[in-house]
């Protein structure tokens, strides 16, 4: 059976020491109540809930799965009780406006609690997790009446929310959406259509579900320019917020999936279901991106959760499993064999998992800090600046961290050997559950096109330059030319990071020049370019963590081994993982002709 211990020490290191979160909170009056004592108390309680209530349901929920009977979905045993504890504990309202019943704490604090819960049980966490995007969309684009009616119930956890985008004929290409919205005389709309792959689309945890739905108005422009956004509740609601009869919203089926079996992935049918417009007509896709960015950062978090859970269990197994002797001589002569953790290859696997889990956590919390800035922005200019920063890093987070999480989960099974392939241990479930993370909310290929095509080339490298300027500034400050007392120790990180960042710029320019002659260059280079970007970005945060660890060790601190381990893991990342960028550079700069020269008929030739 899987075990999990919330990594509070590492979380606090990143919050307090690496990113200075408490100074960040103090600068924003709305977040001033997020004191170290309060945040620590929240983390401790969240750890208890995650470890004691959610983790025990992880494997049992996978085994039982969800049931679809009579058009209704029933979640696995224990899920409903855990959700009620979640609501009773005030967790849904943690990072939302006090005006609508929230606690008014920073969004970044919500990300911290989501990580703990998600690592313990990702399938369960998806039910309340989808609500956050719905809440953020209504907060950003809803009218005051809509906020009072829908947002208050979502914040208190009485209702949950979803996002309804995908249809049978279209996934990422939302220009093909066919769901119709016919206006009524009372200002409502009749929504008709079918949405598929709707996470948490139906369940028995709450008595109502608020669907955020993309649909077309009559005579709307073709393609993405003619899509509007609607709030469509599963059940009718009166003006006082009381739930009535079904709103012609039904669950047609749930998918029989590879993983996340305890999370209902539903086909939702709307048959003249009453909904209300949110945001301007034909601007639904723009409004939906409020939801999408939230969902993509949340999906990136799934990669970190998988890496952490797999690492914790692989580490304990490697300490106990006895097999062969160390190549440098017996390490445990009183035992029949040495534990496998003494073997270099096993060490390499464990360190890769550790590097991805802790490096990924730093990347997520860096983004969470930007989300705080968006939330607390006082002017449109401040909000746009922060939103542009988040927009650039989001595809890197989503694609790179989910790919790294999948690699880490595979490594975990490898450490366990044959036992990893057996369901009893739970390691294979982590692979099955995280596999979807590279697919939903936009596949790795889609994220890569977004990064290279839209965020980099279309802005003529502006967004990239702003981020790499930050990296270069860090490198200059910590280099041999600075007054940094740890400059000698930091050189092994600074020079490779500086070179990799400079290469990032140079390869971007070369790809841009090639793309002017052949647009297929963008498509052929994009995934390798994104992964290259991800490795360099993670290197930046490992260098920051190493610098912070050196600073802590220079003082009188407890748990010195923790900081030493940070430095050693950073060294491993720079020596064993960052060099992957060299092969990625070669493949992303290769001519696309080898991909395109075979005719379709020849590709299928047997």
With cut-offs at 50, 70 and 90, classify the pLDDT of residue 286: confident
Residue 461: phi and psi, rounded to 5, are: 80, 10
Q: For residues 67-81, give the mean pLDDT.
A: 97
The catalytic site residues sit at: 441
CA nearest to 425, candidates 565, 314, 281: 314
pLDDT at 481: 54
pLDDT at 105: 96
470-521 per-position pLDDT tens digit:
999 999 887 655 667 888 899 999 999 999 999 999 999 999 999 999 999 9
Q: For residues 13-41, give the mean pLDDT.
A: 95
With cut-offs at 50, 70 and 90, classify the pLDDT of residue 296: confident
Q: For residues 266-282, give the mean pLDDT.
A: 97
How far, in Å, CA of 250 to CA of 244, rounded? 15
Residue 51 has pLDDT above 80, yes or no: yes
pLDDT at 604: 66
* 94 close to 109: Cβ distance less than 8 angstroms: yes
Q: For residues 510-537, give the mean pLDDT.
A: 97
With cut-offs at 50, 70 and 90, classify the pLDDT of residue 115: very high
195-227 per-position pLDDT tens digit:
999 999 999 999 999 999 999 999 999 998 999
pTM of the model: 0.96
pLDDT at 596: 87
Q: For residues 556-565, give the mean pLDDT.
A: 96
The torsion region of residue 157 among left (phi > 0), alpha (psi -120 to 50) and beta comes to left
3-class DSSP state for residue 172?
coil
Residue 289 has pLDDT above 90, yes or no: no
pLDDT at 285: 87
123-182 per-position pLDDT tens digit:
999 999 999 989 989 999 999 999 999 999 999 999 999 999 999 998 788 889 999 999
Least confident of 364-378, 524-538, 571-585: 364-378
CA angle 145, 166, 160 (to 5 degrees): 40
With cut-offs at 50, 70 and 90, classify the pLDDT of residue 606: low
Count the Cβ atoms, other than its own, within 10 Å of residue 398.
Answer: 33
Residue 603 has pLDDT above 90, yes or no: no
Distances (CA, A) of 307 to 311, 430, 570, 586: 6, 9, 17, 28
With cut-offs at 50, 70 and 90, classify the pLDDT of residue 309: very high
């Amino acid at each position: 059976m899987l075990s999990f211990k919330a990594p509070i020490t590492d979380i606090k290191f990143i919050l307090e020491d690496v990113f200075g979160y408490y100074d960040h909170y103090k600068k924003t009056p709305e977040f001033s109540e997020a004191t170290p004592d309060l945040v620590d108390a929240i983390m401790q309680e969240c750890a208890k809930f995650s470890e004691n209530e959610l983790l025990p349901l992880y494997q049992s929920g996978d085994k039982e799965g969800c049931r679809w009977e009579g058009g209704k979905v029933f979640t696995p045993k224990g899920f409903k009780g855990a959700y009620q504890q979640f609501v009773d504990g005030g967790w849904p309202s943690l990072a939302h406006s006090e005006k609508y019943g929230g606690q008014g704490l920073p969004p970044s604090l919500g990300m911290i609690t989501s990580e703990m819960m998600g690592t313990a049980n990702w399938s369960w966490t998806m039910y309340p997790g989808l609500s956050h995007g719905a809440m953020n969309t209504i907060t950003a684009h809803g009218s005051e009446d809509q906020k009072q009616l829908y947002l208050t119930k979502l914040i208190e956890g009485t209702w949950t929310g979803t996002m309804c985008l995908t249809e049978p004929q279209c996934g990422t290409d939302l220009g093909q959406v066919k769901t119709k919205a016919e206006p009524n005389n009372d200002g409502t709309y009749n929504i008709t259509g079918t949405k598929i792959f709707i996470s948490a689309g139906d369940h028995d945890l709450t008595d109502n579900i608020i669907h955020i739905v993309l649909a077309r108005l009559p005579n709307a422009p073709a393609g993405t320019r003619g899509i509007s956004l609607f709030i469509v509740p599963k059940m009718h609601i009166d003006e006082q917020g009381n739930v009535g009869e079904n709103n012609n919203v039904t669950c047609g089926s749930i998918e029989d999936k590879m993983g996340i079996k305890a999370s209902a992935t539903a086909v939702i049918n709307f048959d003249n279901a009453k909904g209300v417009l949110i945001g301007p007509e034909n601007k639904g896709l723009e409004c939906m991106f409020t939801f999408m960015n939230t969902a993509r950062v949340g999906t990136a978090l799934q990669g970190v959760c998988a890496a952490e859970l797999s690492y914790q269990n692989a580490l304990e197994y490697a300490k106990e499993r006895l097999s062969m002797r160390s190549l440098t001589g017996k390490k445990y002569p009183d035992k029949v064999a040495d534990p496998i953790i003494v073997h270099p290859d096993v060490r390499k696997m464990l360190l890769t998992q550790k590097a991805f889990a802790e490096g990924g956590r730093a990347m997520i919390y860096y983004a969470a800090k930007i989300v705080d800035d968006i939330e607390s922005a006082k002017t449109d200019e401040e909000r746009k600046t922060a939103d542009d920063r988040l927009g650039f890093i989001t595809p890197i987070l989503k694609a790179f961290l989910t790919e790294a999480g999948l690699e880490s989960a595979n490594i975990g099974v490898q450490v366990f050997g044959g036992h990893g392939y057996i369901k009893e241990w739970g390691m294979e479930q982590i692979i099955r559950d995280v596999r979807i993370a590279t697919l939903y909310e936009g596949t790795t290929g889609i994220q890569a096109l977004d990064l290279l095509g839209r965020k980099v080339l279309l802005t003529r490298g502006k967004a990239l330059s702003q981020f790499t300027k930050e990296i270069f500034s860090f490198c200059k400050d910590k280099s041999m030319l600075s007054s940094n007392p740890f400059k000698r120790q930091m050189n092994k990180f600074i020079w490779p990071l500086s070179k990799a960042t400079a290469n990032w710029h140079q390869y971007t320019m070369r790809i841009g020049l090639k793309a002017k002659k052949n647009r297929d260059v963008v498509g052929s280079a994009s995934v390798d370019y994104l992964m290259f970007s991800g490795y360099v970005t993670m290197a930046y945060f490992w260098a920051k963590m190493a610098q912070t660890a050196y600073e802590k060790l220079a003082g009188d601190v407890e748990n010195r081994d923790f900081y030493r381990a940070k430095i050693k893991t950073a060294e491993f990342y720079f020596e064993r993982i960052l060099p992957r960028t060299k092969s990625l550079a070669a493949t992303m700069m290769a001519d696309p002709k080898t991909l395109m020269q075979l005719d379709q008929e020849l590709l299928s030739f047997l």
